[in-house]
Chain A
Amino acid sequence: MKPSVVSSPHVPRVNRVDRLMLQVLVALVPGIVAMIWFFGWGVLINITLAVSFAVAAEAAIMLARRRPPMVAIGDLSAVVTAVLFAISVPPTLPWWLTLLGMVFAIVLVKQLYGGMGYNPFNPAMAAYVFLLISYPVAMTTWLAPNMLAEHHLSFLESLRIILQGAPPTGLDWDAISSATPLDEMRGKLDMDMTIEQIRQSPLWGAFGGRGWEWVGNWFLLGGVYLLWRRIITWHIPVSMLLGLLVCAGIFWSIEPQTHPFPAFHLFSGAAILGAFFIATDPVTACTTKKGQLVFGATIGVLVYVIRSWGGYPDAVAFAVLLMNIAAPTIDYYTQPRVFGHGGERG
C-alpha cells in the first residue's frame, strides 16, 4: 500500500538511522583503540578490509536488485556489521576469510532476506559462526596480547600475515600467538587443574586474561555512552550480563576451584561487546521491554552454558543467534497492556 496524502505529524523528525549507526561506531572507538594497543595493527587492517568488502557487497547486491546503492550504504548498517565482525575475529585472519565472511553476512544473511530491517539473524555473528565452523583453526589462532608476546608484529608484518595467510619467514605462530583466556581456562580445567593453579600462569591478569580484561572495560565505556545517548536502553545489556553473572556466581560459590569466578566471565571473550553492541542490534533482538529482559537474560545464561559445557570456548555468537530465532515469539508473548485495557491500577 502507498498512502497518498501526506499526513501528520508535520514537524522535523528527531532520529535518523544513519545517525544512530554513526553513534554506535563512535562508541566502538575506545574498545577498538584498546584492541589495537593490545593486539597490534592487524585489528585495524581487518576493520579496513571488512568495511570495504561489506560496502562493496552491499553496493553490488543493490545494483543487482536495480536499486540505488547509496540507499543501503548510506544507512551505515553494513559498516557496523563489518566493524563488529572484524573485532570479533583474530587480528591475523587471512583476507579471503574476511571477504567470505562479509559476502556471507551482507548477501546471504541480510540482503537475501530483504535487506536492512528484515534479516532475522545478526549478520556479523552469523558470519562469525559460519567461519568458525568452516575454518576453526584460522578462527581460533589468536595473537598474544602485547605484554606477553615475544615478538611485536609491525604494521607490515601484520599486513603480510593477513595477505599471505602465514607468518613471514623467520617467525612462526608459536612466537606470536597464544591461547585466549577462555581457551586456557577450558583446557586447564579439563586437565584437572584448579583455578588457583591456573591463576599462577603468566597469562593471568588482575581478574581475567591479561590484556583481554582491559579491552572489555573500554567497550563498557562505549556501552555507557550508547546508554547515555539513548541509542540503546539498559534492558538487554543489563539482563544479559546479569544472566551470565548469576549463573557464574551460582557455580562458583558451589565449587570455586573448578568454576572461574564471575568477573572472569564478564571480562573474557566477547561478553561486554556482545551485551552492549551485538545483542542490542534492534533488527534481530526483541522489541518489547519485557521481551528484551527475557532475551538478554537468556543470552547470558546460554553464554555460560556454552562456555562451560559446549564445544566452543566462546559463546556470545551462538547464544545471540539462538535467541534471534526466538525473538519474534518472545515479542508476541510479551506485548504491553494497551491503555484502557484494564489490569494495572493507578
Chain B
Amino acid sequence: MRKMTEMAILQRLSSKRRLWRFHGGIHIPDEKDLSNACAIEPIPLPARLVIPLQQHIGAPARALIGVGERVLKGQMIAEPVGFISAPVHASSSGLVVAIEQHPVPHPSGLSALCALIETDGEDRWAELPPPLTDYPQLDPGLIRERIRWAGVVGMGGASFPTSVKLSPGTDREIQTLVINGAECEPYITCDDRLMRERAGHILEGVRIMHHLLGVKEVLIGIEDNKPEAIEAMRLALAETDMHAYTEVVAIPTLYPSGGEKQLIRILTGKEVPTNGIPAQIGIVCQNVGSAAAVADAVLDGRPLISRVVTVTGRAIAHPRNLEVPVGTTADHLIAHCGGYRATPRKLLCGGPMMGFELKQTETPVTKSSNCVLALTAEESPSADAALACIRCGRCAEVCPAKLLPQQLYWHARSKDLDRIQDYNLFDCIECGCCAQVCPSHIPLVQYYRYAKTEIWAREQEKRKSELARARHAAKQARLERQEQERQARLRKQKAALEAKSAGDADPKQVAIEAARRRAAAKKPGASVQRTDTPRD
C-alpha cells in the first residue's frame, strides 16, 4: 500500500525538464558499487586531531587558542579575517598540544599551520548558540552571520565560504539556486549516501538558502547512476511544502557533469562567463553537503566540524562511508576500514580524475575532503612514457571547456606563457578528460597546472617588481630631496661663513652692510633682491 503511494509520488515528481548538454565529457567506470551500499557510520574518536587553521579559499583565519589550552567540541579555534574567510572549530574536546606546520591536503603536498589537539575522549560540547528555527521571521543578516559563524564552506572541493555565496549583493538578482548532487567522480559515494540517508535535512538547508536568496526556483541535479538518491530526495521533497519551487532533476551520467559550470549548463542552458561567477547570470550553486551543514548551523546551532568521507579503492579492505571529525588523519580512516587488502599504488585525496596524491598518511581530513582513495596497481597503472602529440584531436573532442588541449600542451611545453593564455588556459577546469583519452599518454593536466603556476608566479613577480620599482622611485626621490636640502644647508652655512669671514676682514664693510639691511627692511620689495644675492 505504502509502496503504491510512493510510486505515485515519484511518478508525479519525475522531472520532465528540458536538459542541455555540455561539450565533450567522458564515460568512465564509476566504481561506486565498492562503497555505495555502505551506510554512513561514525568513526571512533581519534586520539589526536590535526586541524588546519585555514580550510577555505580566501583570507586565512586568525588562531584564537594557544598551546596548552583546553578546548571544547565546537569551540571556535580560529576566527575569520575579512569578508571572504571562514572560522575553524575544534571537532572534539581536548588539549591543544601544538600549533605548527603540518602536511595538509593540497596538490603540492604543502604544509600549513594546524592545531594539534589531543582528545580527552569526553567529546564535551562547548556552549552553542541557540537554534534559529524561526529563521523566516528573522533578519537575513542574522542568518548569514550564523552560517558564517559555523564555518560552512563549499564541501564539493572548492571550499569557498558559503555565507559569501549566499550574500550576492543587492545589485544582482538571483533567480536560480542549483544544488549539486551530481557526484560525477568515480568511486566517491559520500553525497550519494548523504542524499539517501539525510534527504530531509538537506532539504531543510535548501529551504534556508532559498529564503536567503529569494530565488524563484531550486534545481537539485543528481546523476542518474544514483537512482536511490534521486528517489530519496523526491520522497523527502514530497513531504515538504517546497515542491512548488524545487525540482529534483536526474541528469545523464557523464563526467564531469558535477563541475559547477557544467551542472549549471545542463540544468539551465546558461554558460557562466569566463573569469566570471554564476551570480553574474543569476545563479548560485551549492553542494548537498553544504546544504546539510547550513541546516546544522541554523537549526541546531552546530558549527561544521565533521563531514562524510568515502574511504574506498580496491586496496582498502572494507570500503566505507564515514562520518569523520575534521582533523582526523587519513591513516586513522584507513585503519578503521580494515587497513589495506592489497598494496596501494597510490593514496589519493579526492576522486581519481581530479584528486591528488597524499604524500603522508598523517594528512588530515578537512571540510572539503570527500574521499580517501587507495588504488591498486591495476586500478591506476603507472603511466607509460609519453609519446609525441599526434594531433588526433581526441582531447578537444572531450574537453568540457571547449578548449584545444593539444595547443595548450604545445605552448606549455615551449613555455610560451602569453600564447597559452590566448588559448584560454584559465578556462581549463583540470577535469582530466583530455589526458584520459590521449593516445600518446601525455600528462596534459600536469602541463596545465605547471603553466598556471608559472603564470601566477610571473604575475606575482611582476607585481613585486612593480612595487619594488615604485619603492625605488620613491627612495630616489627622497634621496634627491635630502641631497637638495643638504646642499641648501651647506650653501647657507657657507654663505654665513663667508659673511662672517668678510666681516672679520673689514668691520667697516659689515657696518655698511648692516645699515643697508636696515634700510632694505623698510622697503620690502628691495629686500628680496638684496638678501637673495649672496646666495646665488
**Residue in B269, B402, B447 with the greatest tally of chain A CB atoms within 10 Å:** B402
Residues from 355 to 386 in B contacting A, C-beta threshold 8 Å? 355-357, 375, 379-381, 383-385
Interface residue stretch chosen among B193-201, B204-212, B431-439: B431-439
Which one of A114, A115, A339 contacts B402 once the chains associate, using CB atoms below 8 Å?
Answer: A339
Q: How far is the CA of A332 from the CA of B273 in the complex (A)?
A: 23
| B21 CB, min distance to chain A CBs, angstroms | 10
B401 within 8 A of A: yes
| B338 CB, min distance to chain A CBs, angstroms | 22
Which one of B430, B432, B439, B450 contacts A3 once the chains associate, using CB atoms below 8 Å?
Answer: B450
The count of chain B contact residues (Cβ–Cβ below 8 Å) is: 70
CB-based nearest A residue for B359: A5
Contacts of B20 in A (CB 8 A): 346
Which one of A8, A117, A283, A336 contacts B445 once the chains associate, using CB atoms below 8 Å?
Answer: A8
B427 within 8 A of A: yes
B108 within 8 A of A: yes
Main secondary structure of the interface of B (DSSP, over half): loop
Interface residue stretch chosen among B151-159, B162-170, B391-399: B391-399
Q: How far is the CA of A9 from the CA of B379 in the complex (A)?
A: 12
Q: How far is the CA of A7 from the CA of B392 in the complex (A)?
A: 22
- Judge whether A338 and B445 touch: CB under 8 Å: no
- Judge whether B270 and A20 touch: CB under 8 Å: no
Contacts of A65 in B (CB 8 A): none
A66 within 8 A of B: no
CB-based nearest A residue for B353: A9
B299 within 8 A of A: no
Contacts of A71 in B (CB 8 A): 385, 387
Contacts of A6 in B (CB 8 A): 357, 383, 443, 446
**Residue in A9, A19, A338 with the greatest tally of chain B CB atoms within 10 Å:** A9
Binary interface encoding of chain A residues 1-33 relative to chain B, with 1 for a CB under 8 A from any of its CBs, else 0: 101011111111111110110000000000000
Residues from 102 to 119 in A contacting B, C-beta threshold 8 Å? 114-118
The count of chain A contact residues (Cβ–Cβ below 8 Å) is: 42
- Judge whether A338 and B406 touch: CB under 8 Å: no
| A26 CB, min distance to chain B CBs, angstroms | 16
Binary interface encoding of chain B residues 309-349 relative to chain A, with 1 for a CB under 8 A from any of its CBs, else 0: 00000000000000000000000000000000000001010
- Judge whether B107 and A10 touch: CB under 8 Å: no
Which one of A9, A114, A233, A335 contacts B352 once the chains associate, using CB atoms below 8 Å?
Answer: A9
| A120 CB, min distance to chain B CBs, angstroms | 11
- Judge whether B424 and A338 touch: CB under 8 Å: yes
- Judge whether B353 and A341 touch: CB under 8 Å: no
B390 within 8 A of A: yes
A310 within 8 A of B: no
A contact residues vs B (CB 8 Å cutoff) = 1, 3, 5-17, 19-20, 71, 75, 77, 114-118, 233, 282-283, 285, 287-289, 292, 335-342, 346
Of the A-B pairs whose beta carbons lie under 8 Å apart in the complex, a sample of 22, sorted by A's number, is A1-B412, A3-B447, A7-B107, A9-B353, A10-B380, A11-B186, A11-B353, A12-B380, A20-B392, A20-B439, A116-B390, A117-B388, A117-B389, A117-B390, A117-B391, A117-B440, A289-B393, A335-B404, A336-B396, A338-B424, A339-B403, A340-B261
The 5 closest A-B pairs by CB, nearest first: A346-B269, A117-B388, A9-B432, A15-B439, A282-B392
